[in-house]
Structure 1
Amino acid sequence: MLKNTGNNKINSKILIMTSVEAEQNAIREGLGLNNERFTLALAGVGPMSAAANTATMLANSDFSLVINMGIAGGFPESASIGDVVIALKMVAADLGAESENGFKPIEELGFGKSVYTVTPDLVDKVNAAIQIDSLISVHTKTILTLSTVTGTTKSLEELQQRFPEAGAEAMEGFGVATAAELKGVPCMEIRSISNLIGPRDREAWRIKDALESLKVVSSILKEVL
């Protein structure tokens, strides 16, 4: 097992933001009783709620790392149900403008940024630990943040064309990252896959499997971070 044995582990405080309580409960179970370094808080649903709630948590205490964790939809052929995706980048995929020539990200409009890049060493450390200490398939890819969950083949194909490197989509990552970046705190996003992106089919969702993966990953995080 890979472990963080340095003194920085003793002094580090890590904030984990989840969308809903079910995700939080799975993570808490994985962390176990000796999890004083970890603070779990609810981000709410969507990037705006996530940014506001993360900013509130960061204003009230000092943290060395913020992690957005939860379940997500996986892009077909990029991730399977129960797999874990660690974000290399967190991208606000619908932040920008439509045009006759296709979608224009906010960078092209000159109004800000839509991409948060995660520290590579942090991604590598967590990725290696999960692969060594579990049977979970792990992917390091872009995770998209959307205010509207994809539910049609057309929308799926449009996202795949714009972001061929994407592995998953969720609704909070970029919001959490925005708050963390403004505070100068590193941030990362870890998602377990509950369903494949495409035509909306709640019957095909495997939330229990995804929550179990979150629990396993959390038990590893407390050893490596």
Structure 2
Amino acid sequence: MSRLLVVTAVAAEATAVRAGADPSRADVAPVGVGPAAAAAGTARLLALAEAAGHPYRAVVSAGIAGGFPGRAPVGATVLAARSIAADLGAETPDGFLPVDDLGFGTSTVAADPELLAALTAALPQAVVGDILTLATVTGTAATATGLAARHPAAVAEAMEGYGVACAAATAGIPFAEVRTVSNPIGPRDRAAWRMAEAFAALTEAARAF
């Protein structure tokens, strides 16, 4: 049976996923923080598995995230309908232009429909929407408001999903992104973060793998 690859940014997220995932069905590996590290690390693991004659059947980007207030509360599990590189583009006097409008590719990768449907069925309480990938996480109310306005379907933001999605697309492998919310997006109030709750929710979500 071909296996599922689950990639996280850091070891703590991988530990939480391993606590819930079936080790006979899924390999879990931290690949680094940010879209570049995530893309490179995921691509390497996918290439090694293919070279060994045991390609993965799908790849999931998993970890914790910030949630947009009113869309995904702290403690929620979120599933990406699309993973969007929200800061890939250009500033202009009239506002931000995504790379799509510049004619240099796309900032959006849709989750594999069958994989998303399976995860949605296994996690019926999950919030489904777009998950933004940002190399610089949001730390002000103004940025949070701007992102929410530009991306009305966004429910959360993290730093790796789009990179993992690009690696999966290049390899021709189904992709999905699963996150649990540790904090609201906006001003960075570390005292309000609920890391333990988010890691516990991530372990529960990983049972779907």
TM-score under structure 2 length normalisation: 0.95
Distance 1:54 1:124 in 2: 23
Counterpart for residue 4 of structure 1: none
Please point out which of 166, 169, 176 is paired with 1:178: 166
Whether the aligned pair in 1 keeps the contact of 2:79 and 2:128 (CA below 8 Å) is yes
User: How much does 1:80 deviate?
Assistant: 0.7
Q: 1:124 aligns with which of 117, 137, 149?
A: 117
Counterpart Cα distance in 1 of 2:112 and 2:58: 11
TM-superposed CA distance for 1:108, in Å, is 1.1
Could you tell me how far apart the structure 2 residues matched to 1:107 and 1:50 are?
21
Which AA in structure 1 matches 2:202?
Answer: L
Pick from 65, 69, 77: which aligns with 2:58?
65
Contact 1:123 1:140 in 2 (8 A): no
Write the letter of the residue equivalent to 1:23: E
Q: Deviations over 1:15-46 (max 9, x none)?
A: 00001111111111112xx5122111112100
What does residue 192 of structure 1 align with? 180
Q: List per-residue Cα deviations over 1:29-86 (Å, max 9, x = no partner).
A: 112xx51221111121000000000010011001110000000000000011110110
Identity %: 46
1:16 and 2:6 are equivalent in the alignment: yes
Give, as a single letter, the amino acid of the residue that structure 2 aligns with 1:109.
Answer: L
The residue number in structure 1 matching 2:142 is: 154
**Contact 2:2 2:57 (C-alpha < 8 Å) held by counterparts:** yes
The alpha carbon displacement at 1:217 in A equals 1.1
Equivalent residue for 2:197?
209
Q: Does 1:74 align with 2:67?
A: yes
CA distance in 2, matches of 1:116, 1:188: 10
- What is the one-letter code of the residue matched to 2:115? L
Counterpart residue type for residue 88 of structure 1? A
Whole-Å separation in 2 of the counterparts to 1:112 and 1:43:
24
The runs of 5 or more residues in structure 2 that have no matched partner are 50-54
Q: 1:122 aligns to what SS in structure 2?
A: helix
In 1, are the aligned partners of 2:115 and 2:174 still within 8 Å (CA)?
Answer: no
Give the conservation status (yes or no) of the 8 Å contact 1:43–1:172: no
Question: Residue 44 in 1 paired to residue 37 in 2?
Answer: no
Number of equivalenced pairs = 204
Structure 2 counterpart of 1:87 = 80
**C-alpha contact (below 8 Å) 2:115/2:175 kept by paired residues:** no
SS at match of 1:98: strand
Kindly provide the amino acid, as one letter, of the partner of residue 79 in structure 1.
Answer: A
Q: Give 3-state SS (helix, strand or coil) of 2:95's partner.
A: coil
Question: 1:29 aligned to 2:19?
Answer: yes
Q: What is the Cα-based RMSD across aligned positions, in Å?
A: 1.0
> Please, which runs of 5 or more residues in structure 1 have no aligned partner?
1-10, 132-136
